[in-house]
Structure 1
Amino acid sequence: MNSAYDRHVAFPSGLGNSTSKQLRSMSPMLIIPVGSTEQHGPHLPLDTDTRIATAVAHAVLGHLDGAPAGDWAVAPPVCYGASGEHEGFPGTVSIGTAALRLLLVEYGRSASSWASRLVFVNGHGGNVEALAAAVALLRHEGRDVGWVPCIAADADAHAGHTETSVLLHISPGDVASADLAPSELGVLGDPTTATTADGERIFAEMVDGCAGRMRRWQPDRNGLLL
C-alpha cells in the first residue's frame, strides 16, 4: 500500500476495523462515503467516485476542530449509486435513485441506533436526488443526519481534468496515462491537462469544504450541510 489513497483509507478511526465493544464506549459520530461503480473513460477506474469520497472522508478527520478524533469513525463506503446515464458502458453497475434512497434511509435508521450523528460524504453527482430525499426523511424522523458533496470550484463534469488530477494525487498507479484523450467517449472535460499538483490542490479544496460544512453543521431542509 503505497499510494496516497491507501494512506488515507488506512486511517485508524475506521468503522470496519472497530469492535462492538469499542463502539459501545464511544457513541461515535459516523462518516459514510457514498460513491458509484461506473465508467470513467478509458483511463480511470470504475470506482473513481468511491475512491475520492473515501479519501476525502478519512482526510476530513484531521480537520474537525472542536471534537476529538476518536469521536468520529469512517464507515466502509457505499460503492453503488445512481449511474443510469452510464449504463451503456461495460463495468457500470447502477442501482438507481429509488433503490439508493431506500438503502440510505435504512442505513441511517440502523446506524442511528448506536451513532450519535451521521454524515454522508458524496462523490457522485447522480446520487444527489437520493441523498436529499433520504436525509430529509431521516431528519424528519428525528435523526441527526446530514450530507456533504466532494466539490471544487471550476470543476469539469466527468473523468476530465478534475477527477483525473485528483486520481493522480490519491491513486497515481491506477491512472492509465497512455489512454488519456481530450474527446474520448464517456469523458466530459479534458483529462490531458491533469496534473498531480492540481490534484493535490483540488483534493485539499474538497476536504476543506467538507470539513467546514461539518464543523458548522447547518443542514438545509434536505439535510445538505451549508
Structure 2
Amino acid sequence: MVFPRELGNSTSRQLHDAHAIHMPTLVVPVGSTEQHGPHLPLDTDTRIATAVADAVVTRLRARDETHWVMAPAIAYGASGEHEGFPGTISIGTPALAELLVEFVRSACRWTPRVAFVNGHGGNVDALRRAVTQLRHEGRDAAWSPCVAGNADAHAGHTETSVLLHLSPDAVRQEERVPGNRAPLAELMPQMLRGGVAAVSSLGVLGDPTTATADEGRRIFAEMVDACAARVVRWEPDRGGMLT
C-alpha cells in the first residue's frame, strides 16, 4: 500500500488503509496573501512555500518509502506590515498561532509528525509560539523557512527571480521597477511605526529589475536543498525551527 501524495486529493479510506503499513509525515506550506509590489501576485509567498514543500515531498518520497503527504497550503498569515496596500489580508500573529496549534492537534489524531514549510517572514513569531506549545504538549511538530543566501527583503530580486522560474506568466514584466534598496535593519524603525508603506510607496524592498528565471532556478534549488536537509535531520531548536 502506497500512501497518497496529496492530502486534498486523498480519501479517508486511502489514508486509513495505508496507515496500517506506514506512519506518514504531513508537510504543510504556510504562506500569506499580501501585496508584492505592482509586478508580483498577492499569493507570492504561498506559491513559493507550496512549490518548495512539493519539491521536498517529491524528493523524500523517492528515498523514503513514500510516507510523506503534502497538505493544502495555509494561505493567510501575519502580514500587518503590508496592510497599507489593497489586497493584503492579514489574520495576525495570535490568530495564526492558534490556527497552527489547532491544525496540529487535529492532524496528530492520524499522523505522528507535522512539518510546516514557511514562505513569509511575518509568520515566524506565530510559528515559534505555536510549535513551542505543541512540542511542550508532546506533539512532534516543527517548521522550516524557505530561505536562500543573500536574499533581499520583499518583492525584489529574490522573489521576482523565483516567480519568473515558477510562474513566469504571473509576473507583470512591464511593472518591474526598483524599490527601496536600503538594508532592512536601517528601514526597520520606520516600518515598525508605519509598515512597508512608510519606506516604499511601491511596496518593494529591493530591485526586481535584475531578476531572471535562471537566477530563480538557482535560488529555488537552494531553498529546496536546505529545507529537505532540515526535514531529514529533524532537529528542532527551542522555537521549533528545524536547523
TM-score of the alignment, normalized to the shorter chain, above 0.5: yes
Show the counterpart of 2:99.
Answer: 103
Shift of 1:23: 1.0
Residue number in structure 2 paired with 1:4: none
In the alignment, is residue 59 of structure 1 matched against residue 55 of structure 2? yes
Cα deviation for residue 66 of structure 1 reads 5.0
* Aligned match for 2:39, one of 34, 40, 43: 43
Structure 2: segments with no counterpart, 5+ residues: 180-200
Q: Give the match for residue 184 of structure 2.
A: none
Q: TM-score, normalised by structure 1?
A: 0.92
Provide the residue aligned with 1:139 in structure 2. Answer: 135
Percent same amino acid at aligned positions?
67
Instruction: Name the counterpart of 2:163.
Output: 167
TM-score for the superposition, normalised by structure 2: 0.86
Q: Give the deviation of 1:68 after TM superposition.
A: 1.7
The residue type paired with residue 216 of structure 1 is R
Aligned length: 214
Root-mean-square deviation (CA, aligned residues, Å) is 1.1
Counterpart-to-counterpart distance in 2, 1:100 and 1:67: 31
- Cα deviation, 1:177-215, whole Å, max 9, x if unaligned, reads 010001261000000000000000000000000000000
- Residue 125 of structure 1 deviates from its aligned partner by 0.0
Whether the aligned pair in 1 keeps the contact of 2:57 and 2:68 (CA below 8 Å) is: yes
Q: How does 1:144-223 map to 2 (within 5 A)?
A: 144-183=140-179, 185-223=202-240
Q: 1:22 aligns with which of 8, 14, 20?
A: 14
CA, structure 1 residues 146+207, in 2 after alignment: closer, same or farther (shift >3 Å)? Answer: same
Superposed CA deviations along residues 145-172 of structure 1, whole A, max 9, x for unmatched, are: 1100000000000000000000000000
CA contact (8 A) 1:82 1:97 kept: yes
Which structure 2 residues correspond to residues 59-138 of structure 1 after superposition, within 5 A?
A: 59-64=55-60, 66-69=63-66, 71-138=67-134
Using the alignment, how far apart are the partners of 2:57 and 2:110 within structure 1? 20
Q: Distance in 1 between matches of 2:109 and 2:57?
A: 22
Distance 1:140 1:13 in 2: 29
State the AA in 2 paired with 1:68: E
For 2:36 and 2:108, the matched residues in 1 are separated by 33
Q: List structure 1 runs of 4+ shifted beyond 3 angstroms.
A: none
Q: CA deviation at 1:99?
A: 0.3
Larger Cα-atom Rg: 2
